[in-house]
Chains A and B, each alone.
Chain A
Amino acid sequence: MNLALHGAIEQGLLFAIMALGVYLTFRILNFPDLTVDGSFALGGALAARLIIEGTNPFLATLMAFVAGGVAGIFTGVLHTKGKINGLLAGILTMIALYSINLRIMGKANLPLLREDTLYTFVKDLGVPNLAVGGVVFFTGVALVFLIGILLLKAIIDWFLQTDLGLDIRATGDNSKMIRSFGANTDTTTIIGLGLSNALVAVSGAWVAQYQGFADVGMGIGMIVIGLASVIVGEVLFGSSSIFRATLAVILGSVVYRLVIALALDAGLNPSDMKLITALIVIIALTVPAVAKSVWKRQPFRATKGGRGDA
């Protein structure tokens, strides 16, 4: 395994936090939330600014969580109380956040050189690489990330099994039914959006610290990357239960980064990656449907062939 693939696994695990957030809105709430592009950059911008000003990186990341939650709640209120179409509510928050993020950073790009960040903290832990026969499969950093993301997955799995979690899931599944059992679907939608964007912002904060800078454009296309992770994960690893679906999202995020790394390795430009991302989502969405219809037609073809007139 070369260095690029190690990096891809580490990145995949960090972006998986964002993908889990997208899973919460896109799959659980059945709400296409475009706030993500804005809240991801918001997390990165806020964490970078706070760290540069000397805030502890843990606290800075926690602040990113809170700020992302507020952004999600804002979208939720626009949609439920302001009766704005869900897609549009997300876009409005996203575009508003672009200006807010520039305000937070003061300029379009904030480098985190020589700052103490969560990434330097993880590296300093000195966890050894996981190597078999001299080939490194997991870097020590990736192992720490993996433990962290599995812990987060466990918390999300637990949350979705609680009474409140069941209400949020039912809101996306059958909102008429859950209202008749006494849940306020406005509230559950707002909570779901808040949690989702809080996770997305944490992911942005981590990525900024990992790559060593925050950039106002770092969130562009993030919703599509999140969708790619969710959908690729579901296609490859299944989604029959919550436990399995969240695991699939994490693995989907890693697979996505590996595909991107391989595409770069094959000589494509980094600027081509948005195109690759869109293609991955299109393929992941259409291939199962096409495969199904081909599979259905097969017995028919076989009989035709059997008669010798094919």
Chain B
Amino acid sequence: MLKISRVRKVFNEGTVNEKIALREINLNVTPGEFITVIGSNGAGKSTLMNIISGGLIPDTGSVIIDGKNVTKLGEHKRASFVGRVFQDPMAGTAPNMTIEENLAIAYARGKRRTLSFGVNNRKRELFREQLRQLDQGLENRLKTKVGFLSGGQRQALSLLMATFTEPKILLLDEHTAALDPKRAQLIVDLTQKVVEQYKLTTIMVTHNMEQALNMGNRLLMLHDGGIILDIPQEKKQTMKPQDLLRAFEQARGGESFSEDRYLLS
């Protein structure tokens, strides 16, 4: 479904601020796989997500989604393949537009925009039905501006907008990190539900090791621009956060991880 071959990305190349964000990464994701990605700050997680979404174009290497080479396609041209939820609950929705208008934008994902009404009764019925699944009572507030919703509600809406058109790939960028524990759990449950429902191929970045182990069916650990661990479902099921830390230490060749232990916990 997604094939990343020898992708390299360097920022500020040739200057004192040179930073190798990704060094020759290879990744093959099969349909329906749900990958969780962990790694310390600066490991290249965000760069990897942006390379997949088209926010960044790799220096070398190729990105293939569903058999189509999208390496050089910009973000808006890839949008028909890729759904994305950001960490910031404010990032995924337009605050001064109503719930139904936001959903209409998501509904038009990757399609040619025309001069037909963005929201009509047929779509409204569909939106209501989708919103009902969120269990937030939003189905009765279609004409409410999104800016009036709580962070958790906005994130739930973002998740719905990213998924209900069934993109080839769903990117979740620490999408529960900015929420309080209760709302974060709600979004986690919702994520499990929609990924299951649409059998979405998903890549989720998280800082929470527990979450990384409990969710999904494959785990990647990034460090210093490379994939240092790739743990399949069978092994992942039996692991605990301590095991993960130990594996991390081993993969780094016994290097001290005191600082990273703090960042990962």
A is bound by B: yes
A residues apposed to B, CB below 8 Å: 159, 161-167, 169-170, 173-174, 176-185
A161 and B90 CA atoms in complex are apart in Å by: 22
Q: Are B104 and A183 in contact (CB under 8 A)?
A: no
A159 and B117 CA atoms in complex are apart in Å by: 8
A165 and B117 CA atoms in complex are apart in Å by: 9
Which B residues, 93 to 135, have Cβ-Cβ distances below 8 Å to chain A? 93-97, 101, 104-106, 108-111, 113-119
Q: Are B84 and A166 in contact (CB under 8 A)?
A: no
7 interchain pairs (CB within 8 A)? A162-B118, A163-B108, A166-B105, A173-B97, A174-B91, A181-B105, A182-B80
Residues of A with C-beta under 8 A to B113: 162-164, 167, 183
Bitwise interface map of B from 62 to 84 toward A, beta carbon under 8 Å scored 1, else 0: 00000000000011110110111
Evaluate whether A181 and B79 lie within 8 angstroms (CB atoms) in the complex, with A163-B113, A166-B105 already known: yes
A178 and B105 CA atoms in complex are apart in Å by: 8
Q: Are A170 and B105 in contact (CB under 8 A)?
A: yes
A169 and B114 CA atoms in complex are apart in Å by: 15
Q: Give A175's nearest chain B residue, CB to CB.
A: B94
Q: Give A27's nearest chain B residue, CB to CB.
A: B96
Q: Are A173 and B94 in contact (CB under 8 A)?
A: yes
A309 and B95 CA atoms in complex are apart in Å by: 45
Q: Are B93 and A177 in contact (CB under 8 A)?
A: yes
B residues apposed to A, CB below 8 Å: 53, 74-77, 79-80, 82-84, 86, 90-97, 101, 104-106, 108-111, 113-119, 161
Residues of B with C-beta under 8 A to A164: 113-115
The number of residue pairs between A and B whose CB atoms lie closer than 8 Å in the complex comes to 87
Q: Are B108 and A176 in contact (CB under 8 A)?
A: no
Q: Are A163 and B92 in contact (CB under 8 A)?
A: no
Residues of A with C-beta under 8 A to B114: 162-164
Q: Give A30's nearest chain B residue, CB to CB.
A: B96
Minimum Cβ distance to chain B for residue A18 (Å): 23
Q: Are A182 and B108 in contact (CB under 8 A)?
A: yes
Residues of A with C-beta under 8 A to B83: 180
A165 and B113 CA atoms in complex are apart in Å by: 9
Q: Are B115 and A162 in contact (CB under 8 A)?
A: yes
Instruction: Find A177's partner among B80, B94, B110, B119 (CB 8 Å cutoff).
Output: B94
Residues of A with C-beta under 8 A to B92: 177, 180
Q: Are A174 and B93 in contact (CB under 8 A)?
A: yes
Minimum Cβ distance to chain A for residue B122 (Å): 14
Instruction: Find A166's partner among B76, B91, B101 (CB 8 Å cutoff).
Output: B101
